[in-house]
Structure 1
Amino acid sequence: MTVVLETRRLQRNFGAFMATNDVSLQIEQGARHALIGPNGAGKTTFINLLAGVRPVSSGQIFLEGKDITTLPSHVRVKKGLTRTFQINQLFADYTPLETVTLAMLEREGVGGSLWSKVTGHGALVDEAAALLSRFRLAAVMDERTDRLPYGKQRLLEIALAFAAKPRVLLLDEPAAGVPEDERHEVLQIVSDLPSGVTVVLIEHDMDLVFSFASRISVLVAGAIFAEGTVQEIAANPGVRAVYLGEAA
């Protein structure tokens, strides 16, 4: 399989504290890869390094074999690496259709038109409507975003990231705060994205992780503690000890 995203001895220090500790990781194209670990394990810091939100202290990051370690986050987006955040980053008074169309305008390099009427870009509006249907948001595409149920808002944020046509999609707890009966829908929609899109997911709900992931990496104290298939991680007594709180 082709490695689409790779880190080599990645480190990030905050003073004397090492939040990311010598992480070398390879993620294959099309994978549904989960990052798990106890609170404070460094999962979000690691995603921030991949996305360019934080600079690395040392080590390298490669996207499709190209070194992107020093590239700013907006350039990484254009190269096919997008992410979502734990807290929604949405325009409250825009509709989902307007919001996704604006993201597509930016993708096409016409960001100067962001605040003009999006209806002047018919092809992109049609593409946005089709994308919203994929994310089961067609029925609410013309409602104000701040009036949507929280689960729909989370799906909209993922749809926004997907509108950039990523090859790697980084999701930081996409189901956090979503009602229990909607959580599996969110992850199922993500899982059903085209196989050419690689998904890297942070999630605390182990039922969701085990139903979603094809491969799991466990972070502890900023370092890779274990890695393997769902079956291998579920059977690993060390993982149960440090993550699930069971006796080793």
Structure 2
Amino acid sequence: MSGALQTIGLSKRFGGLTATDDVSFTLGHGARHALIGPNGAGKTTFINLLTGVLSANEGTILLEGEDVTRMPQQQRARRGLGRTFQINQLFGAMTPVESVGLAVSERMGGGGQFWRRLGKRTDIVDEIVELLRQFRLIEVMDEPTARLPYGKQRLLEIAVALASQPRVLLLDEPAAGVPEAERGELLDTLAALPRDVSILLIEHDMDLVFSFADRISVLVNGALFAEGTPEVMRNDPRVQDVYLGSDNHV
């Protein structure tokens, strides 16, 4: 079965440790797919293989049907693969409008302060403002990122990722570190992400997983353990035993 992103027999070893074990996985077009599993299951390794941070020992990675297995990170990004990180990669001294403007500039082949010249184009200004509005950042658009509440920083990171106009977006624990009082805004914003972007969510927050995903894959010891709809996964006794019924997801 083809999809927006697909792996076939993907494996990664570190010496005698198999971190990713023969994983064949498909992210459907427009999907809202969650990847869950106990700590140490290999989720981050899997994401790093998809994005090119790590090289696979065996297997194939297809992005919109194109083999990107040996492509460097930058080429995968240019072909429409975006991601966020467990710990945000934002520049604390930059404001949200500067961060989003710089991301738009990079997408258009600019760099450095090139984004400032884009301000003369109303279509670019409209795009930046719309992203800031969509991610509830208008009121803080001129504040240094380091001063923003952490939930706003997580929203800004996703906005920056979307500014590159990815076809596939990998969200690596977007709720990590976000205070409970700010999670509602994060959940609502994620639910409103455009459906023309296929999304793989890696997350420990089960409220977020079950409210967001239309399909869930469970990774255990680097191998694909189970997969199905949220309702099926919630009621699968094997999944409850290895993950949902334990403290591993807390």
Cα offsets for 1:125-165 (capped at 9, x unmatched): 33212111111111111111111000000000011100000
Residue 113 of structure 2: which of 109, 112, 115 is its match? 115
Cα offsets for 1:96-121 (capped at 9, x unmatched): 0011101111100112xx13571553
SS of the aligned residue for 1:121 comes to helix
Q: CA deviation at 1:3?
A: 1.3
The verdict on how the C-alpha distance between 1:117 and 1:67 changes in structure 2, with shifts beyond 3 A counting, is closer
Hey, what does 2:54 align to over in structure 1?
54
The verdict on how the C-alpha distance between 1:117 and 1:208 changes in structure 2, with shifts beyond 3 A counting, is closer
Cα offsets for 1:194-225 (capped at 9, x unmatched): 11111100110111111110000000000000
Distance 2:204 2:149 in 1: 21
Hey, what does 2:39 align to over in structure 1?
39
Contact 1:5 1:64 (8 Å CA) reproduced: yes
Distance 2:7 2:114 in 1: 40
- Taking structure 1 as the reference length, the TM-score comes to 0.95
* 2:11 alignment partner AA: Q
* 2:27 alignment partner AA: I
In structure 1, runs of 5+ residues without a counterpart are none
Contact 2:234 2:244 (8 Å CA) reproduced: no
Backbone CA RMSD of aligned residues: 1.4
Distance 1:168 1:134 in 2: 18
Contact 1:2 1:29 (8 Å CA) reproduced: no
Cα offsets for 1:49-96 (capped at 9, x unmatched): 111111111100001111011111111111110001100101111110
The verdict on how the C-alpha distance between 1:191 and 1:16 changes in structure 2, with shifts beyond 3 A counting, is same
Q: CA deviation at 1:166?
A: 0.6
Contact 1:6 1:26 (8 Å CA) reproduced: yes
SS of the aligned residue for 2:238 comes to helix
The verdict on how the C-alpha distance between 1:7 and 1:35 changes in structure 2, with shifts beyond 3 A counting, is same
Identity %: 60
Hey, what does 1:125 align to over in structure 2?
125
SS of the aligned residue for 1:33 comes to strand
Report matched runs for 1:55-204 at 5 Å: 55-111=55-111, 114-115=112-113, 118=116, 120-123=118-121, 124-204=124-204
Contact 1:118 1:125 (8 Å CA) reproduced: no
Report matched runs for 1:227-242 at 5 Å: 227-242=227-242
* 1:182 alignment partner AA: E
- Taking structure 2 as the reference length, the TM-score comes to 0.94
The verdict on how the C-alpha distance between 1:143 and 1:56 changes in structure 2, with shifts beyond 3 A counting, is same
Q: Which runs of at least 4 in structure 1 moved beyond 6 Å after TM superposition?
A: none
User: How many corresponding residue pairs?
Assistant: 244
Distance 1:184 1:13 in 2: 38
In structure 2, runs of 5+ residues without a counterpart are none
The verdict on how the C-alpha distance between 1:216 and 1:120 changes in structure 2, with shifts beyond 3 A counting, is closer
Cα offsets for 1:176-197 (capped at 9, x unmatched): 0101122232132122111111
The verdict on how the C-alpha distance between 1:215 and 1:182 changes in structure 2, with shifts beyond 3 A counting, is same
Q: CA deviation at 1:27?
A: 1.1
Q: CA deviation at 1:2?
A: 6.2
